[in-house]
Structure 1
Amino acid sequence: MKKYDIKTTDVELLKKWYYLMTLGRALDEKAPAYLLQSLGWSFHAPYTGHDGIQLAIGQVFTKGEDFLFPYYRDMLTALSAGMTAEELILNGISKATDPGSGGRHMSNHFAKPEWHIENISSATGTHDLHAAGVARAMVYYNHKGVVITSHGESASSEGFVYEAVNGASLERLPVIFVWQDNGYGISVPKKDQTAARKVADNFSGFKNLKIIHCNGKDVFDSMNAMTEAREHALLNRTPVIVHANCVRIGSHSNSDKQTLYRDENELAYVKEADPLMKFRRMLLRYKRLTEEELKEIEEQAKKELVSANRKALTAPDPDPKTIFDYVLPEPYEPQKYKDGTHRETEGEKKFMVTAINETLKAEFRYNPDTFIWGQDVANRDKGGVFNVTKGMQQEFGEPRVFNAPIAEDYIVGTANGMSRFDPKIRVVIEGAEFADYFWPAVEQYVECTHEYWRSNGKFVPNVTLRLASGGYIGGGLYHSQNIEGALATLPGARIVCPSFADDAAGLLRTSMRSRGFTLFLEPKALYNSVEASTIVPDDFEVPFGKARIRREGSDLSIITYGNTTHLCLNVAERLEKEGGWSVEVIDIRSLIPLDKETIYESVKKTSKALIVHEDKVFAGFGGEIAASIGTDLFRYLDAPVQRVGSTFTPVGFNPILERAILPDANKIYEVARKLLEY
């Protein structure tokens, strides 16, 4: 390995480094002025004191081979990796031409996705999971490169950072975790964050993990550490933690006042430790550059900053008309079954669990760049708790079908990351064994929903997230809840929930062929239900946002999905037999996007609407449908819109309690009859 030191490093390289450090420092110091002039940069986290390690990260990053996940303090990292001062200012003042997000994301989040300098979240440390996912793809596709992910030492207290390091060590992934230790998490000192003085030492027992400590204030020690880390990760295909000791000379950000928690002696000490001034003194002391040469470089940096500032200020602002761009990508459009229905009457009916299993296998054959993982999905002859993935690993192999740790954040986060490696990749994940256990991964669900919008259309996770949802199985807490009402509030995800085997197959096929993020809810009580079994054409497809009229009628519209679709069909038949009422049952199938056109046409015809779903009535998704009908169709209504769903309680384990809580045919019947008689 090449070793860098002040005596032998090429002079031209020293000039380049000093130029980058001087330009970065000038920009770091100028950033607050934009806020004072009301030009933007309302969030700025100064990097001063991290100069050595940030220069080294950028210098080691190899464009075309590596992926880089910089965090919000990584201004010099981005500059050193090749981004221009103008590009950094464009981000800082949120211009439309900001290469990372077009002004959509917070300032000080520098990115250039086309170079794989990735757009990351403000939730610091979450990108470690994405880094592990990219590295997994690098290994699978035999790509020469590493993934570098960077953040402060305090972020390592987050559970998802542990999950990322654990997973990268388990899978032997070429990830370099750079932890820039400046001693503080905003105002919280390191002693209140970690038991070990050097946080990387908390991970010293991990197999396959190399830990390198360096002085992040020193250019040469940092360069040597990062060079060693990259060479080790490349050669061994295993992860490395680079723990860089830094100082934070300024406040955490422009909204923080460090004099409230740091005394004068400490502030004087960290100022004396300024890495740029140390580097300058070394260049003079060892006579590598003269004072005149240094001043000339400083003048060049000053001129570049003036020019970059002038250009950035004249760049266009984001257009408010574009706010709806890049919420969701255009989905795959079904070719044969354009409306998501079929007329096949001959053939064997299949259970929903069989339809999903066979569709997964068919799509894995169709697209060899498809992967699936989750908890318990690939253990010999077992394929998940409900055997949905049974036989997949045997046919497609462990590299494409494999188990994940019991770490829901890791499951979802690495799916996000793996799909970054190449847009042809499609990932299916079983996000948790039951939907109720998914909550630890909601943070990564949020990431997936706004990646496309936040990156201004430059990246979207091509992920289908499967969850076994709902009750009616006597499962109680953590085995019977519905979560779609909460998740539907987050723009950027499609949400689908089939009621029959053919729709399960068709929606799954469309999800797996589409760009973008889809939540695929599987009502587990219907997996082996005779009522939900249907004939399933081999290549059946169902478009997103297209409801299916399960029963036509003229007196009442029942809008439903999932488990309650079958209850509603039974109620409609009972009402017809008892009172001659004609009840229309609409299975929406797709919550987001929602087929309002079919719903509205039905309500205009019947003038009465009842929304039924398994989830709680209070704050459930049906409230959105009811509000839309009330707002847009008020003049057509002959009665108030009604809803039936669960009580505002958890779902109990004892069958007596479950029956009292979940909707059933009698509860639906009573409300429907009153509505018909209104």
Structure 2
Amino acid sequence: MTENKKYSIKSTSKELLSRWYHLMTLGRALDEKAPNYLKQAIGWSYHAPYAGHDGIQLAIGQTFNKETDHLFPYYRDMLTSISAGLTAEEVIFNGISKDTDVAGGGRHMSNHFAKPEWNIHNVSSCTGNHTLHAVGVGRAIKKYHHKGVVFSSQGESSVSEGYVYEAINGATNEQLPVVFVFQDNGYGISVPKKDQTANRKVADNFRGLKYLKIIHCNGKDVFDSMNAMKEAKEYAMENSTPVIVQANCVRMGSHSNSDKHELYRDNAELNYVREYDPLAKFRRLLVRYKRFTEEELLAIEAEVKLEVKKAHKAGLTAPDPDPASIYDFVIPEAYVSEKYPEGLHDYTGNKLKLIEGLNETLKAEFRHNPDTFLWGQDIANKEKGGIFNVSKGMQQEFGKERVFNAPIAEDYIMGTANGMSRFSDKIRIVVEGAEFADYFWPAMEQFVETTHDFWRSKGQYSPNITVRLASGGYIGGGLYHSQNIEGALSTFPGVRIVYPSYADDAAGLLRTSMRSRGMTVFMEPKALYNDPKAAAPVPEDFEVPFGKARVRREGSDLTIITYGNTTHMCVEVADKLAEETGKQVEVIDLRTLVPMDKETILKSVAKTNKVLVVHEDKVFSGFGAEISATITEEAFQNLDAPVRRVGSAFTPVGFNRILEKAILPNNDKIFVAAKELLEY
């Protein structure tokens, strides 16, 4: 077929038409068979039938090239996935959640088809959020001068999500080769399109965006869909700009097997959608234009029946997931330091401030790994390097391709980090997730998504991302500038959380974070950035392993467990108690919250028999609650007093310095609690 020739019933080769009919018949056979598995209690408890989307789904899969392109299908994209290369067996393995499921071994919801080794990505149930990942991959394609495009597919209702707007806005702003396909069947479960958007065609909502091409097609028609997808891919590749393909479809069935569309669609509408069955129309065309005889089509249909029968047998005999495997692939193994296995050093050079330790380590790691990238808000504009200047001088040395500003859209920052990291496992990404940690909440949807990507894909995709967050108070910042959020973030498996107190540990933990696979949240106590108390000599190659606490002060009468801003307070309180009472207090600086150094904690408890947990976050539901519970469960026999906690009051942090002081922990509050425990 020549470059400009369009697909049609007359011009398309018989070989290609035969392949298409085989794929469409196979897809429909599996689409109709899926509910039977649930009826027989075999599986496929979630199935979203695609019938009525046949044309556009065939076209997406046929246009996709696994050698060069990336595909993000959504939960209704069964035929898309089959057209892109998934076999009937692979579809059934996914549907009935077998260990042989190539998407992730039954770890993800049925009807979420993927094959990561072919760049058919494992996407979430969180509808439409993969648009941000697609943009991230598109960014990598552009930066690495790769010849390919990204396809992101979704229903029209998910376009109402805010992160979809962020994704398309970002793709136009960065001019990225991403094809967004809207499969418009008129419903979001039972919600009609008129309740979603004022425009009859949702793609028109984006008409004001520069560098964006919008193509409309009949998603029920094979040839119109093929021509639209061919045009979209060629345009995106030639211009390195995004394209929206709005495909008009019908939904012949219910939204899913838990939905009854008869409750909100009348008989006239149901009869209408059945009349527009795309597979039946395609079959009629093949016969009417004498491209195939009835016998030839029956032969293809017979082949499909045998194919499905064979796949069904393979599915029933395929192994189920092993219950013992649930702890596999929660998070990748971290980078291991050979020179500093305990994260300690005897270097006595000049002291660096905490902010200097971070800045120098960022630069050193960017020199070490040319596939490292940094973005965030306000991080690279002339001489400014973040609102605290942690990234000062980065763009000047490493250029705009590797260090650049992001929009004020935290979900976009996180989501595109997830996406760009999918392009190659050698890539390491550092994002300033928000200017202040308490502004990170808009990114939580993408944060949660990223925490379970490694587990959900059964280790096939690791988000190699370090999320930097300036955390804590003591700066008179008030709401959104002084809160601690590590307690909330620690409830999600699949992410490491570190919280240094000194410049050397900040540098060492940052280096380990940036060299490790998997995601790490790097909490930076901003009140200590330039505080002389946090300054320390920092070896150029220093590394601190995750899960290794540091004993800041030896003692035998009381253990204080702490991290971040309160570490220095606890050391000062311990010195004061030794001077005034002769009691020796051991101060343990956790450095890493997840994983937590339980061994060091329990060893100290066995020695001192009394424990005070101190952190800046709220006492109620703060991370100290986990520490306290761990000690109570595993070292109760060693306790001579209840585990006590000191932290913030269960209120927001006030702006006025008087209010802030009343709310946050300080030396006096820690001293009183420690003294009472020592006297217990």
TM-score of the aligned structures, taking structure 2 as reference length: 0.99
1:394 CA displacement: 0.4
For residues 154-177 of structure 1, give each alpha carbon's deviation from its aligned partner in whole angstroms, at most 9, with x where no partner exists: 111001000100100000100000
Match of 1:376 among 369, 375, 378: 378
Measure, in 2, the Cα distance between the counterparts of 1:63 and 1:603. 56
Q: Aligned residue for 1:125?
A: 128
1:336 CA displacement: 1.2
Measure, in 1, the Cα distance between the counterparts of 2:160 and 2:378. 27
Match of 2:71 among 59, 68, 73: 68
Measure, in 2, the Cα distance between the counterparts of 1:526 and 1:159. 35
Which amino acid in the other structure matches residue 325 of structure 1? Answer: D
Q: Aligned residue for 1:440?
A: 442
For residues 243-268 of structure 1, give each alpha carbon's deviation from its aligned partner in whole angstroms, at most 9, with x where no partner exists: 00000110000011111111111111
Which amino acid in the other structure matches residue 485 of structure 1? Answer: G
Measure, in 1, the Cα distance between the counterparts of 2:410 and 2:444. 9
Match of 2:403 among 401, 404, 426: 401
Which amino acid in the other structure matches residue 448 of structure 1? Answer: T
SS of the aligned residue for 1:280 comes to: helix
Measure, in 2, the Cα distance between the counterparts of 1:616 and 1:88. 48
Q: Does 1:212 align with 2:215?
A: yes
Match of 1:198 among 188, 198, 201: 201
1:135 CA displacement: 0.8
Measure, in 2, the Cα distance between the counterparts of 1:264 and 1:649. 56
Match of 2:470 among 457, 468, 471: 468
Q: Aligned residue for 2:182?
A: 179
SS of the aligned residue for 1:214 comes to: strand
Which amino acid in the other structure matches residue 338 of structure 1? Answer: P
Q: Aligned residue for 2:300?
A: 297
SS of the aligned residue for 2:559 comes to: strand
Q: Does 1:267 align with 2:270?
A: yes
For residues 190-214 of structure 1, give each alpha carbon's deviation from its aligned partner in whole angstroms, at most 9, with x where no partner exists: 0000111100000001001000000
Q: Does 1:326 align with 2:329?
A: yes
Which amino acid in the other structure matches residue 651 of structure 1? Answer: V
Greater Cα offset, 509-518 or 287-296: 287-296
1:335 CA displacement: 2.0
Q: Aligned residue for 2:246?
A: 243
Which amino acid in the other structure matches residue 454 of structure 1? Answer: R
Q: Aligned residue for 1:651?
A: 653
SS of the aligned residue for 1:207 comes to: coil
1:666 CA displacement: 0.6
SS of the aligned residue for 1:431 comes to: strand
Q: Aligned residue for 2:662?
A: 660
Match of 1:36 among 20, 36, 39: 39
For residues 573-616 of structure 1, give each alpha carbon's deviation from its aligned partner in whole angstroms, at most 9, with x where no partner exists: 11111101100000000000000000000000000011000000
Q: Aligned residue for 1:77?
A: 80
Which amino acid in the other structure matches residue 254 of structure 1? Answer: N
Match of 2:584 among 571, 576, 582: 582
Measure, in 2, the Cα distance between the counterparts of 1:72 and 1:344. 55
1:284 CA displacement: 1.1
Q: Aligned residue for 2:558?
A: 556
Measure, in 2, the Cα distance between the counterparts of 1:174 and 1:61. 13
For residues 261-306 of structure 1, give each alpha carbon's deviation from its aligned partner in whole angstroms, at most 9, with x where no partner exists: 1111111111111100111111111111111111111111111000
Measure, in 2, the Cα distance between the counterparts of 1:213 and 1:617. 56
Which amino acid in the other structure matches residue 449 of structure 1? Answer: T
Measure, in 2, the Cα distance between the counterparts of 1:272 and 1:568. 75
What is the aligned length?
Answer: 677
Q: Aligned residue for 2:28?
A: 25
Map 1:416-495 onto structure 2 (within 5 A): 416-495=418-497
Measure, in 1, the Cα distance between the counterparts of 2:338 and 2:228. 54
Measure, in 2, the Cα distance between the counterparts of 1:312 and 1:113. 20
1:551 CA displacement: 0.3
SS of the aligned residue for 2:26 comes to: helix
SS of the aligned residue for 1:542 comes to: coil
1:7 CA displacement: 1.0
Which amino acid in the other structure matches residue 563 of structure 1? Answer: N
Measure, in 1, the Cα distance between the counterparts of 2:396 and 2:675. 52
SS of the aligned residue for 1:558 comes to: strand
1:343 CA displacement: 1.2
Measure, in 2, the Cα distance between the counterparts of 1:205 and 1:530. 51
SS of the aligned residue for 1:611 comes to: strand
Measure, in 1, the Cα distance between the counterparts of 2:617 and 2:43. 43
Across the aligned residues of Structure 1 and Structure 2, the Cα RMSD in angstroms comes to 0.6
Match of 2:525 among 523, 526, 532: 523
Match of 1:601 among 586, 600, 603: 603
Which amino acid in the other structure matches residue 499 of structure 2? Answer: C
Measure, in 2, the Cα distance between the counterparts of 1:171 and 1:615. 38
Map 1:341-420 onto structure 2 (within 5 A): 341-345=344-348, 347-420=349-422
User: Which runs of 5 or more structure 1 residues have no equivalent in the other structure?
Assistant: none
1:233 CA displacement: 0.5
Which amino acid in the other structure matches residue 529 of structure 1? Answer: D
1:348 CA displacement: 1.4
Q: Aligned residue for 1:5?
A: 8
Q: Aligned residue for 1:339?
A: 342
SS of the aligned residue for 1:145 comes to: coil
Q: Aligned residue for 1:158?
A: 161
Q: Does 1:105 align with 2:108?
A: yes
SS of the aligned residue for 1:249 comes to: coil
Measure, in 1, the Cα distance between the counterparts of 2:392 and 2:470. 15
1:543 CA displacement: 0.2
Measure, in 1, the Cα distance between the counterparts of 2:131 and 2:74. 10
Measure, in 2, the Cα distance between the counterparts of 1:268 and 1:293. 29
SS of the aligned residue for 1:599 comes to: helix
Q: Does 1:232 align with 2:253?
A: no
For residues 342-401 of structure 1, give each alpha carbon's deviation from its aligned partner in whole angstroms, at most 9, with x where no partner exists: 1122x2111101110000000000000000000000001000000000000000000000
Which amino acid in the other structure matches residue 369 of structure 2? Answer: N
Measure, in 2, the Cα distance between the counterparts of 1:448 and 1:529. 33
Match of 2:53 among 41, 50, 58: 50
Which amino acid in the other structure matches residue 386 of structure 2? Answer: G
Q: Aligned residue for 1:285?
A: 288
Measure, in 2, the Cα distance between the counterparts of 1:503 and 1:659. 27
Measure, in 1, the Cα distance between the counterparts of 2:387 and 2:5. 52
For residues 65-104 of structure 1, give each alpha carbon's deviation from its aligned partner in whole angstroms, at most 9, with x where no partner exists: 0000000000000000011010000000000010001010
Identity %: 71
Greater Cα offset, 110-119 or 278-287: 278-287
Measure, in 1, the Cα distance between the counterparts of 2:583 and 2:669. 17
SS of the aligned residue for 1:177 comes to: strand
1:2 CA displacement: 2.9
User: Which runs of 5 or more structure 2 residues have no equivalent in the other structure?
Assistant: none
Which amino acid in the other structure matches residue 557 of structure 1? Answer: T
Measure, in 1, the Cα distance between the counterparts of 2:292 and 2:269. 32
SS of the aligned residue for 1:88 comes to: helix
Measure, in 2, the Cα distance between the counterparts of 1:649 and 1:50. 51
Which amino acid in the other structure matches residue 231 of structure 1? Answer: E
Measure, in 1, the Cα distance between the counterparts of 2:269 and 2:308. 31
Measure, in 2, the Cα distance between the counterparts of 1:383 and 1:357. 10
Q: Aligned residue for 2:634?
A: 632
SS of the aligned residue for 1:243 comes to: strand
TM-score of the aligned structures, taking structure 1 as reference length: 0.99
1:675 CA displacement: 0.5
Map 1:127-146 onto structure 2 (within 5 A): 127-146=130-149
Measure, in 2, the Cα distance between the counterparts of 1:546 and 1:436. 26
1:447 CA displacement: 1.1
